[in-house]
Amino acid sequence: MPQLRLGSRGSPLALVQAHQVRDRLVASGMLADEVTISVFKTTGDRIQDRPLSEVGGKGLFTKELEEALQAGHIDAAVHSMKDVATKLPDGLTIAAMLEREDVRDAFISLAFAGLMDLPRGACFGTSSLRRQAQLLRLRPDLRIVAFRGNVQTRLGKLADGVAQATLLAAAGLKRLDMAARITEIVETEVLLPAAAQGAIGIEIRAGDTQTAEKIAVLDHQPTHICVVAERTFLGVLDGSCRTPIAALAVLAEGRVMFRGEVISPDGTRHVGVVREASTQAAKSMGFDAGLEILQRAGADLLGVRR
């Protein structure tokens, strides 16, 4: 009889992450047959012919997992935190986050050494509005084409010549043991990552103290503090896949250093913010940084309905 039923998407990366959670639980003292993994096909996995920004944005990769949680079919759902909506369904909570992987984006090309080496008018594949906006801010000459699918699918499209280059999260490639495919790591000073990029979260039913106690050992507090700051910032801005927003919080000498930005989809307008706070004030710092962006950027840039 399993003591802990985990839920996961069926993509190769999602399964690697779910097994990483399972392996750490076993290492902490649970028996291997006490932790099971159930696989779900989410709405985001089924829709491959359109950008997510056109069909509902964030939440499309978590909806079926969260419904299974609410129905009691699983005890915990394993998510890439950047896929999780800032407002969770009633009765659910993020109870733990694993130590964060590399937060940076990875540039991948079969012909060019780096982003700035691409020729004028090069075709760049991405389905991320955040990456599109940042790329066009740096390289307005680039031609952006839609690039949906899991890591393997997008690498296949690159090999087929659909685009000359793409960006993927370095964390995912490293977890899949595919770091050798990275042409260039793009530093965060060049491309600020998506909020919560590189973080794995575990969602449970609020009030489920038994599950909370079992997964508590997995929670990495520095990661949790930083990701909460980023997601709070995102939530203030009504952040979704329809708005190009980036954010990164890092711990340095006991302080939380934060940078956030919003960019117009064509890259022509940009508003950024830099903040610093104690670990105890990280969430309120993210909130205040979001308010500052709201005041300076305006509803039209953010796509916020007033």
Radius of gyration of the chain (CA): 19
Contact 14, 78 (CB under 8 A): yes
User: What architecture is the 1-100+199-219 domain classified under in CATH?
Assistant: 3-Layer(aba) Sandwich (3.40)
Annotated active-site residue in 75, 83, 102, 238: 83
Name the CATH superfamily, with its identifier, for domain 105-186. Periplasmic binding protein-like II (3.40.190.10)
Domain ranges of the chain: 1-100+199-219, 105-186, 220-300
Amino acid 276: pLDDT: 97
Active site residue 83: yes
Domain 105-186 and domain 220-300 have a common topology: no
Angle of the 221-236 helix axis to the 282-297 helix axis, nearest 10: 30
Query: What global pTM score does this model have?
Result: 0.91
Residue 46 in this model has a pLDDT that exceeds 70 = no
189-222, pLDDT tens digit by residue? Answer: 999 999 999 999 999 999 999 999 999 999 999 9
Rounded to an integer, what distance in angstroms lies between the CA atom of residue 155 and that of residue 275? 36
4-43, pLDDT tens digit by residue? Answer: 999 999 999 999 999 999 999 999 999 999 999 999 977 6
119-157, pLDDT tens digit by residue? Answer: 999 999 998 999 999 999 999 999 999 887 788 888 899
Section 102-126 average pLDDT: 96
Residue 305 in this model has a pLDDT that exceeds 70 = no
Class of domain 220-300: alpha beta
Rounded to an integer, what distance in angstroms lies between the CA atom of residue 294 and that of residue 243? 13
